[in-house]
Amino acid sequence: MQQEIHQLEPQAVWKHFANLNAVPRPSKKEERVIAFMEKFGASLGLETFQDEVGNVIIRKPATAGMESKKTVVLQSHLDMVHQKNNDTVFNFDQDGIQMYVEGDWVKAKGTTLGADNGMGVAAIMALLESDSIPHPPLEALFTIDEETGMTGAKGLKPGVLKGEILLTLDTEEDNEIDIGCAGGIDITAEGTYDMVDLPKDSIGYKLTVNGLNGGHSGMDIHRGLGNANKIMNRLLYEASNAGEIAILNIAGGGLRNAIPRESVAQFAVLSQQAAVEKAIKNLAKDIQKELSFTESKLKISLTEHKMEGGCMQQNSQNSLIAALYGVHNGVFAMSPAIEGLVETSNNLARVEIGDGKIKIGCLTRSSVESGKYDLAHSIKSVFQLAGYEVTLSGEYPGWSPDPNSEILTVLKSQYEKLFDHTPEVVACHAGLECGILGSHYPDMDMISFGPNIKGAHSPDERVQISSVQKFWKFLKMILTQIPNK
């Protein structure tokens, strides 16, 4: 199957993508991919070095006749989101991604594909390796830990880069040129609860929510997708109103930047067993009907399950369910300045309950700094009312659009010449590194673009082969049109 990938066009790009995907590269564990990239740069005889935080920079001189052009920074991130289906046996710390071709798409077997942002990395590698593609002076910037904190971009020091133009290859619609993005902030709520013994005559249940699409918590937040944590909480709320239940544990969601696809809860019914079962099953049908257009594969199952250990004390349980119900999830505000742009949102990303401990994680995004903190403080207040300790961390700024950008003019004109139609100039609700990099290099002219990637941050992630061909053609043409210094 991997050989099949190598044969796709443009072969130079797909070869590097396949080689990259053979290297495990989880966020915050990028040692192997950093070494891989340093070895690659050294093998080409190019200036290659690692900065203080682990970003890899590779410099390549201009081709003959283009020495007078402005230096271009080509940027993509090395890490990838790790998500897999529950029934997929895979170790992200050890295994390479297993890819296959289906029609015009490249997919992975039960895991995320790593096209976000591996396609950008592979394209840059192909440019660095080529001895026939005309280009200005290049600086390749491969950042680390973009997906779980953007610590690579945050740690990049002013003065390390010499370039005047930044081309970030990290967007997912090939007809779009991105000139702005949202900022974000992580919210973590933690607490403890008293555990009590289960009554001997209680009946144990396992409640499972799965089959959801998941997706990128920025780019897909407006699509009306189901959030497994919110669905689970609705079901538990309904059950607790129909009878007396006692929660033992809940495990839902995963990474903050992925919309939760699955959640599992174990609880006991202490009274009104038939009413509790009926309430859950009736609400499950209602939720499936609500989400029938966006989540046709949603499954909600309730099975009797042997229970062991202690459960939540009732007051703690009531506070938890109320807090999770009260926390906003999804789109909070649309931009009044840019039609169709989500301005502010929140993703209730992770719920971990068990053994007397509570941990809840959210990611709040906004293209308006004050709006970001307004929603974050609202969510923080809900959790504080439930008695939890709340931490705001991992803050990163948005990227303010510059419609008069010189490099934007270049990209628009070249896109129209190549493809005979006008590109969409947009700002996105995802967190691109441009905002952070711009804070270190305020005079750098920045743009972001890329090939069609669907289902990023989920095991349904896929990249379109014909779009990669279009993206590669566009990128090469742009490099021939860079303005003079």
Asked if pLDDT for residue 137 goes beyond 60, the answer is: yes
Which entry of 79, 176, 262, 295 is annotated as an active-site residue? 79
Parallel/antiparallel/unpaired status of strands 165-168 and 72-77:
parallel
Whether residue 197 lies in the annotated active site: no
Mean pLDDT, the chain, whole residue set = 95
Average pLDDT over residues 449-462: 94
Percent of the chain with pLDDT over 70: 100
Q: Is 146 a catalytic residue?
A: yes
pLDDT of res. 145 = 95
Say whether pLDDT at 149 is over 90.
Answer: no
The answer on pLDDT for 278 being more than 80 is: yes
d(CA 273, CA 264): 19
Q: Which amino acid is at 211?
A: G
Give me the architecture of the 185-396 domain, per CATH: 2-Layer Sandwich (3.30)
Inform me whether the pLDDT recorded for 263 exceeds 70: yes
Name the amino acid, one letter, at 311.
Answer: C
Domain with CATH 3.30.70.360 in the chain: 185-396
Catalytic entry in 30, 116, 139, 146:
146
The reported pLDDT for the residue numbered 306 is 86
CATH architecture of 2-182+398-480: 3-Layer(aba) Sandwich (3.40)
How confident is the model over 58-69, as a mean pLDDT? 98
Please state, for a pLDDT cut of 90, what percent of the chain lies above it.
Answer: 91
253 three-class SS:
strand
Task: State the Cα–Cα distance between residues 449 and 352, nearest whole angstrom.
Answer: 36
Q: Please state the φ and ψ torsions of residue 90, each to the nearest 5 degrees.
A: -160, 140
Say how far apart CA 175 and CA 340 lie, in whole Å: 16
The helix/strand/coil state of 172 is coil
The confidence score (pLDDT) of residue 1 equals 56
Query: How far is residue 383's CA from residue 385's CA, in Å, rounded to a whole number?
Result: 5
For residues 31-57, average pLDDT = 98
Q: Whole-angstrom Cα distance, residue 219 to residue 26? A: 21
Name the amino acid, one letter, at 450.
G
229 sits in which H/E element: helix 228-242
Note the pLDDT tens digit of each residue in 209-249.
999 999 999 999 999 999 999 999 999 999 999 999 999 99
Average pLDDT of the residues in 20-39 = 96
Q: Which two tokens stand for residue 40?
A: 């690659």
Pairing of strands 203-210, 299-304: antiparallel
The alpha carbon of residue 234 and the mean position of all alpha carbons in its chain are separated, in whole angstroms, by 25
**Residues 57 and 71: beta-carbon distance below 8 Å:** no
**pLDDT level of residue 431 (50, 70, 90 thresholds):** confident
**Per-residue pLDDT averaged across 255-277, rounded?**
95
In the chain, where does the domain assigned CATH 3.40.630.10 lie? Answer: 2-182+398-480
Report the alpha-carbon distance of residue 362 to residue 383 in Å, rounded: 11
